[in-house]
Amino acid sequence: DPPGTPRMATAVTASATAATRFTRLAGIGLRRSSCRPRTAVRFQRPGLTTTALLRPTELKPKDQGQPETLDYRVFLVDGGGRKVSPWHDVPLRAGDGAFHFIVEIPKESSAKMEVATDEAYTPIKQDTKKGNLRYYPYNINWNYGLLPQTWEDPTAANADVEGALGDNDPVDVVEIGERRANIGDVLRVKPLAALAMIDEGELDWKIVAISLDDPKASLVNDVDDVEEHFPGTLTAIRDWFRDYKIPDGKPANRFGLGNKPTSK
């Protein structure tokens, strides 16, 4: 790759050693240069080229259209007002073991927002089904979104999780801090645990993390700390994602790895 070009991280396999699962999931191959405060990045594919000189702390969401309409989009813009891609242009690593996290769905909301992976600059939009806007049957209780520059490979079978294939989307994050974030916010988070959700046969990892700005961030560093300082939260996250499709007449989702959260 040319200097300064980050590689797309691929969630291919979970290691048999729990301590290395998240490192592989997040993409150990990303260049260390992506951790620098000011990072030149470039993404290309037929019909789409974006180039940006990013200061992640300056990135801000910018609305286009009216919320809860088919045309509504939330773009990410840099300090000069230029559009950048929340998926491709934001560095994954934030330094000191932290990662950047893009908020798609704020806590205590139900509109099913997601990055439009097939649109220029991959803005965040509300998902649709048969032309209708999609909503969860009840509010999600945590900030929810993605790790930039990650992708769950739909051709790679994970031997540790029933041979399930990736879901062809970025890796998901459930952020458990107390603050309700906004759509398009870029937060620095640290991973605490992971749940291996299996959705209609596809592996759909849920990385449990906390914003470094949260008052309890210094108290939690791994899965056991979550149980101590956020008792019941990991079970609540698993049950929420297991059951949210049931009101629509679909079967419950399943979880690999013994139906338990693994360490970071």
What rounded mean pLDDT belongs to the chain?
85
Half-sphere exposure of 39 (CA within 13 A, CB side): 27
Residue percentage of the chain with pLDDT more than 90: 78
Kindly indicate the confidence band of residue 55, based on its pLDDT and cuts at 50, 70 and 90. confident
pLDDT for residue 210 is more than 50: yes
Residue 136 annotated among the catalytic residues of the structure = yes
21-25, 34-38, 197-201: segment of lowest average pLDDT = 34-38
Which one of 72, 121, 136, 138 is the catalytic residue?
136
- Decide which of 153 and 43 is more confident: 153
Q: Domain boundaries in the chain?
A: 94-110+131-263
Q: Are strands 164-166 and 202-211 parallel, antiparallel or unpaired?
A: parallel
- Decide which of 15 and 7 is more confident: 7
Q: Per the CATH hierarchy, to which homologous superfamily does domain 94-110+131-263 belong?
A: Inorganic pyrophosphatase (3.90.80.10)
Kindly indicate the confidence band of residue 189, based on its pLDDT and cuts at 50, 70 and 90. very high
pTM of the model: 0.81
Extended strands (E) in 58-183: 60-64, 73-77, 83-84, 93-95, 98-105, 109-111, 113-115, 124-126, 128-129, 132-133, 135-140, 143-146, 157-158, 164-166, 172-175
Structure-token pair, residue 56: 């992640």
